[in-house]
Every structure is written in C-alpha cells, then in structure tokens.
Amino acid sequence: MSKKRVVIAGMGFGGLRAAKALSGSDFELIMIDRNNYHLFQPLLYQVATAGLEQEAIAYPLRGLTRRWPGSSFLLAEISGIDLEGKNVLTDAGPVPYDYLVIAAGSRTNFFGMESVGAHSFDLKRLDQAEDLRNHILLSFEHASREADPVRKAALLTFVIVGGGPTGVEFAGALRELIVHVLSKDHPEVSADETRIILVEAADSLLTAMPINLRQYACQKLHAMGVEVLLESRVVGATAESVHLHGGTVLSSHTLIWSAGVSAATLAGHLEGVERAAGGRIVVQPDLSIKEHPEVFVVGDIACTLKDGMPLPMMAPVAIQQGSYAARMICAREQGRSLPPFHYFDKGSMATIGRSSAVATAADFTVRGYIAWIAWLLLHLYYLIGFRNRLVVMMNWTYAYWFQERQVRLITSKKRRAASVL
C-alpha cells in the first residue's frame, strides 16, 4: 500500500515546522517553495544594515530533506491550487496531494499607494535586504562628494514607515551603523548631518506591548538621535521625497516600508474560499478550509480568530499552527480527533540598539540589557544550522566589542529608480 502524500506549499516558519513534525512519519512528504532556502526573516534588517551576511540567516532546504526520511523538495513557483482535483499547480507541473498545508506567507501591503511601492524598500526577501544595504552605502558615497547642501541633506535622510518591531529595530540598527561606522568611513559626512525619521500612524510605537515598554522604546530612540513622528501617515512618494498626510513633504532619497502586510498572492488564486481583511484565508477551528478538510492553512496567509480578533501575522503564530497542522494530519489518519487550535501567546520582544531591548510575556515585562540578552539568545535558538548560529554569534560579539560592521560591500549599483542617486 502506497504512502499518502502530504504537500507543503511554502517553507517559511509555518511550513518548516509542519515539515519537521511530519518528517520520518508514514507519509510521502513534498515541500515546495520558490526559493531553495528557508529564510529567517526577523534578521533581514541586520543584513540591510551591514551587520550580517545574507548566508547567515538562510539555510538550504535540500540540506534538510536529505536528513528527513521520506521527504523531498521541489523548487517551483506555485500558480494556483485545484482544490477539487487535489493538485498544486506549479511551473514544474501539477503536484497531486492527499493532504495539503498552505504556508505561503505574506507580501508587503502598500495600501493601494503605487508611488510608495515604486519608490520604497521593503524587507521580505534576501535580495531586498541586499539592495537596501547597497543603497545606504551608495547614499553615503554620493553624499561625501555632493556640493549642493540641499541634495546632500536629502541623501542623508532616511525615512522608515511603521513603528512595529521591524521599524524600531531597523531604526536603531541604522543609527548605530551611521554613528559608529559610516560617519568614520566618510570624514566628509558628520553623523549630525544625517536624519533618521520613524513614521507611525498610531499614537505610540510597538502598539502590541504594554505602555511602559512603548514609552521606553520611544525615549531610547530619541536619545539615539532618531526622530519619531507619531500619528503621521505617508500618502505618497517620489524618488526624492516622502509625502505625509497634511501636506508635509520630507526630502529624502530613502524610504523603508514596514507598515503593513497582506496575504500572499496565492490566496487570491483559490476559488470558493472565504477571505478576510488583507486577503487572508478564513479557516476552521482545526485550521482546515471549509468543505476541504484535507487542506490546512497556516501562518500569515491564514485568518484565525482568538477572542473575536484575527491572530497577528507573526512567526510564533505560524510556528504553532504548523505544528498543529502536522498533528492534525496524523490524527486524521489514525482516526483520532484533536481539540481546536489554540494559540499560546509567549510574548513579544524587540531590540532597540546595543544593550537595549524590550520584552513582554504574560504580565511580565523587562527592558534594557536583560531583555537584549534574551532577544539574542532566542534568535540564536530559532536559527537553523550550527554554522549560521556560530557566524551570527561571532558577528554580534565583534560588533558589541568593537562597534564595527564588516559587511560593507557594495555588491551592485543597480537601482529601481536611477534618478535617486
């Protein structure tokens, strides 16, 4: 009797955790992704700010499958899913399944602002992080020889949109890169000439955290020299400016967008499924699609409710959902039932800069050096591969003691908008 086939579409945090839980079980496991690596997205901003090499936060998927019996990997682009025929449609041909785990993740949401999408950087892929690093380094190269003070100021103004963990962490890391490294590499540019502006539509940063941690993060960024604009909203952009609601125009050649995400494009290609805000697929309490109990949806692309509110699009949610989907598939085959999926919130954290972070779990909060150490250890734990952990730990140790960033290579001068520099 042939084994039943489980196909996992997308190898982010949710897909990886489901695959790991199913590896070695009595299933034929096929993993599909457009990339041949698993990406540790929470550290993408450190690639963009010259703190880590790209390879340190990615792990080849075939390196996992060769250790997992009964599993294989297919490098392919998924164009759709035939729910009735039980086929995943890819550019390498259809892939039939008995069970399917959709873990395609999310994409950046520019809320319909085409000009912002055309003139901003986001951090969802490795190549985007490398492009942004190249752009930041090139901005300083051009500013160091720019005679026009107005244009020089625009080259040295960096606007970050979104006051969540990504925006806060990026702002702190960029400020440290400028103060401790780039201003020394370029004697013609003083750190005081640079501006980092963090724009947030809400009335505080890190809105999911307790008020004391929000205030601490804001005060810490101010002390570092980051300008925080609360209750401000970006409405448009050009290659050399950022437009805010109310008519304010910021002269800047660099716009980093971390203000929102929506479900991956694949969600829109599924016919007959219910969707929620952001295009997310509405799932049943067991994470399956209504009328298709053999199909599970996990991670950012899934809309799961807790206390009437959708769960956040975060890695911890995807990890727990991936594990649950794997257990659910095994239970189905064994004729067992499981209670509905329940998300256990272990808390959240964000690093602000060297020796400073905020963290919360249940009713417990911590900030400063202890939170920073906890942030380091947790991120090292979730990285895949001994080499990656070692390389990242060595980079962090070197940066801590010498306040230096080694990954300052301009690997491309290609620009999305050639007029920017």
* Domain extent listing, the chain: 4-34+76-108+261-333, 114-259+347-420
Is a pLDDT exceeding 70 seen at residue 418? no
pLDDT at 1: 55
DSSP letters, 273-332, are --B-GGGPEE--TTSEETTEEEEEE-GGGEE-EETTEEPPS-HHHHHHHHHHHHHHHHHH
Tell me the C-alpha distance between 394 and 140, whole Å: 27
Average pLDDT in the 297-302 region? 96
pLDDT above 70 covers a percentage of the chain that reads 98
pLDDT at 256: 97
- Residue that is written with structure tokens 């809400």 in the block: 202
Tell me the C-alpha distance between 4 and 6, whole Å: 7
Confidence of residue 356 (pLDDT cuts 50, 70, 90): very high
- Longest Cα–Cα distance of the chain, Å, equals 76
Answer whether 287's CB lies under 8 Å from 322's CB: no
- Position 221: which residue type? L
Q: What are 20-62's pLDDT values in tens digits?
A: 999 988 899 999 999 999 999 999 999 999 999 999 999 999 9
Cβ neighbours of residue 100 under 8 Å, at least 6 residues apart? Answer: 6, 7, 8, 9, 81, 86, 88, 294, 295, 296
Question: Residue 414 burial by CB count (10 A; 0-12/13-18/19+): exposed, middle or buried?
Answer: exposed
Confidence of residue 414 (pLDDT cuts 50, 70, 90): low
* Cα within 13 Å of Cα(29), Cβ side: 30
pLDDT at 6: 97
Tell me the C-alpha distance between 49 and 169, whole Å: 10
Cβ neighbours of residue 23 under 8 Å, at least 6 residues apart? Answer: 29, 68, 69, 70, 71
DSSP symbol at 339: P
Mean pLDDT of the chain: 93
Confidence of residue 415 (pLDDT cuts 50, 70, 90): low
Which tokens go with 347?
């808390």
Catalytic residue among 130, 141, 146, 169: 169
Q: What are 73-127's pLDDT values in tens digits?
A: 999 999 999 999 999 999 999 999 999 999 999 999 999 999 999 999 998 999 9
Task: Judge whether 4-34+76-108+261-333 and 114-259+347-420 match in fold.
Answer: yes
Question: Residue 162 burial by CB count (10 A; 0-12/13-18/19+): exposed, middle or buried?
Answer: buried
> Which value, in Å, is the radius of gyration of the alpha carbons in the chain?
22
Phi, psi of 131 (to 5 degrees): -60, -45
pLDDT at 417: 42
Active site residue 169: yes
Question: Which CATH number is 114-259+347-420's, of 3.50.50.100, 3.40.50.2300, 3.30.1390.20, 3.60.20.10?
Answer: 3.50.50.100
Distance of CA 353 to the CA centre of its chain: 18
Q: What are 216-246's pLDDT values in tens digits?
A: 999 999 999 999 999 999 999 999 999 999 9
Cβ neighbours of residue 220 under 8 Å, at least 6 residues apart? Answer: 172, 352, 353, 356
Question: Which CATH number is 4-34+76-108+261-333's, of 3.50.50.60, 3.40.50.1110, 3.60.21.10, 1.10.150.120?
Answer: 3.50.50.60
Is a pLDDT exceeding 70 seen at residue 182? yes
pLDDT at 420: 46
